[in-house]
Amino acid sequence: MVRPLGFLVGLGFITALVLAIFTTPLSNEPNVAYSFVKHPRHLKLASDGLVPHWDKAQLQRGMQVYKEVCSACHSLNLVAFRNIQDLGYTEGQVKTFAKGFQVPSINPDTGEVATRDGLSSDHFPAPYANDVAARAANNNAIPPDLSLITKAREGGKDYVYSLLTGYQNPPANLPAELKLGTGLHYNPYFPNLNLAMAKPLADNQVTYADGTKASVDQMAKDVTAFLVWTAEPKLVTRVQVGWAVFFFLLIFTVLAYLSYRNIWADKKH
C-alpha cells in the first residue's frame, strides 16, 4: 500500500517540477549593475590569520580617524570608553579622553534634559538624538552604526576599506538606469553603485600624533583596523585561547587513539 501511494505522490511532485522546468525561462533578466560592481580589494591586518595581534599604534590612529571624521555622522554604540584600554591607553588617559565628550544626562536637581562630561563607563555618544534626526541630516539615509560594521557586511574589512578608498567618477558607459540620483555618489564597491555617503576622506584630513603620513589609503586602513577591533574586541584572545584548547585536545585525541588501539589489539574487526 505504501509503495503504490508513494509512487503516485512521487509522480505528482515530478510532474509539477517538469512543468515548472518547461515554463521557467532559461535566461536571466540581465542585471547591468553586476558588470560595474567590483570585488573588494584585500586588506591585510595584524589581526588576521591564525597568529593575530593588535597593532595598537594603528588602532589608535584608526580611533583618531573615527573621532575626527566618521563620528560626525556614525555612532559607535557598542563601544565604551573603558574598552579603549585595549588600544594601549592607561586608565588615566581613558578618563581624560572620556571627559572630552558630552553625554546625554539629566540635571540632577531639576530633572531637565542636560549633558555632562563623559565617564570611562559611558559608551561613545551618538551624533544624532534619534533616527529621524539622522535621516533628516543625511539625504534620507541613516548612517549605520559602525560598531559591528566589519562583521555586518559581505566582504567584511575588505569591503569597508575598499568602499572608503573606492570613490571615483562614474564611467562614461554607465547605463541611464544606474546614473546617480541626486545627492548620491558613485562607488563601484557598493552593491547598487550609488552611495549616499560623500567621499569621507581626503589626504591630510587628520594629523597623526606619531607622524604617519595621513594619506587617504593610510587613514582608510587605520580606521578599518579600528573597526575590526570594535566589531570583536575579543578576537585576538579568541584565537590564542583556541590554540591552547586545540593542543590540549590534540593530546587527548592521541591518547584516546592509543588506548583504542590497545583495547582492540586482540580483536579482529
Which residues of this protein are in contact with other proteins, per CB under 8 A? 2-3, 6-7, 9-11, 13-21, 23-28, 50, 77-78, 83, 144, 147-148, 151-154, 156, 191, 231-234, 237-239, 241-243, 245-246, 249-250, 252-253, 256-257, 259-260, 263-264, 267-269
End-to-end Cα spacing for the chain: 40
Shortest spacing between CB 51 and other proteins, in angstroms? 11
Shortest spacing between CB 145 and other proteins, in angstroms? 8
Closest by CA to 36, choosing from 178, 176, 162, is 178
Q: Which is nearer to other proteins, 25 or 108 (CB)?
A: 25
Shortest spacing between CB 168 and other proteins, in angstroms? 23
Taking the C-alpha atoms of 61, 131, 156 and 84 in order, what is their torsion angle to the nearest 10 degrees?
30
212: Cβ–Cβ under 8 A, 6 or more apart, which residues? 61, 218
Q: Which is nearer to other proteins, 225 or 231 (CB)?
A: 231
Q: Which is nearer to other proteins, 8 or 172 (CB)?
A: 8
Shortest spacing between CB 7 and other proteins, in angstroms? 6
Shortest spacing between CB 117 and other proteins, in angstroms? 23
How far is Cα 146 from Cα 226, in angstroms, rounded to an integer?
10
At position 168, the amino acid (one-letter code) is Q
Separation in Å, CA 4 to CA 1, 13, 17, 47, 120: 6, 15, 20, 60, 73
Q: Which is nearer to other proteins, 108 or 267 (CB)?
A: 267
Q: Which is nearer to other proteins, 192 or 204 (CB)?
A: 192
26: Cβ–Cβ under 8 A, 6 or more apart, which residues? none
